[in-house]
Amino acid sequence: MIGAALYFAFACVSLSILLNVYRLLSGPGRGDRVLALDTMVINSIALIILFGIGNETTLYFEIALLLAMVGFVSTVAYCKFILRGDIVE
């Protein structure tokens, strides 16, 4: 039962990443592309967590935590750059 749910979640998250790639490539504005990248990072975290559940190991949580931090910092840096033309003023 858990295996089937795991496959369903894998399929959903993979489809989500494909939809984000579509928005990343076609997004009319820069804000859309930043938003698509941010969502892709969050979906990648979900994918890593699901992989950890599938392998029954807690090894991947550090990767997910690091990815969450790097994703947040990069989103804020992109937005600062769009807003001010500079990151560290």
Partner 1 sequence: MNLVVEILVTLLLVLGGGFALVGSWGLTRLPSLMTRLHGPTKATTLGVGSCLIASAVYLPWATGSFTAHEFLITLFLFITAPVSAHMIAKAHIHRQGWRLDPNPADNVVEGLPPTGGSTGWATFWCPPGRRWMGSSLVEGDCVEPPGGSGASGEGVERE
Tokens of 80: 């600062």
Question: Binding of partner 1 at residue 87 (CB under 8 A)?
Answer: no
Three-class SS of residue 50? helix
Q: Is 16 exposed, middle or buried, given 0-12, 13-18 or 19+ CB atoms closer than 10 A? A: middle
Using rule CB under 8 A, residue 88 touches partner 1: no
70 binds partner 1 (CB under 8 A): no
| Under 8 Å between Cβ of 20 and 58 | no
Question: Which residues bind to partner 1, rule: CB under 8 A?
Answer: 1-2, 4-6, 8-13, 15-17, 19-20, 22-23, 29-32, 34-36, 38-39, 42-43, 45-46, 49-50, 52-53, 56-58, 61-62, 64-65, 68-69, 72, 75-76, 79-80, 82-84, 89
